[in-house]
Amino acid sequence: MLRLSDLQVKMVINVKNGKHLGVIVDAEMTEAGTINYFVVMPKHFFRRLFKADSEINVAIKEIVKIGEDVILVDL
């Protein structure tokens, strides 16, 4: 079983360009408990501070692979 806290320590990488998007900080769920999407924020404080659209929502269908250290997404 995979917990949200297990996912929060992994880097989120976009497979299209190899860009490090940040880390998972939260998950949006339905009342039934189904995850709609994960909220990804840049890990560095200054990137969050100066970038207006710093939060990225990653839907479950956009996750390609969950590895030991990284989560690969196709955005």
Count the domains in the chain: 1
Q: In this predicted model, what pLDDT tens digit does every residue of 11-59 receive, in sequence order?
A: 999 999 999 999 999 999 999 988 999 999 887 655 555 555 578 999 9
Range of the domain at 46: 4-73
The per-residue pLDDT for 31 is 93
The per-residue pLDDT for 47 is 53
The per-residue pLDDT for 63 is 95
Q: What is the CATH number of the domain that holds 30?
A: 2.30.30.240
Its pTM stands at 0.81
- Other C-beta atoms closer than 10 Å to the C-beta of 27 total 15
The per-residue pLDDT for 33 is 85
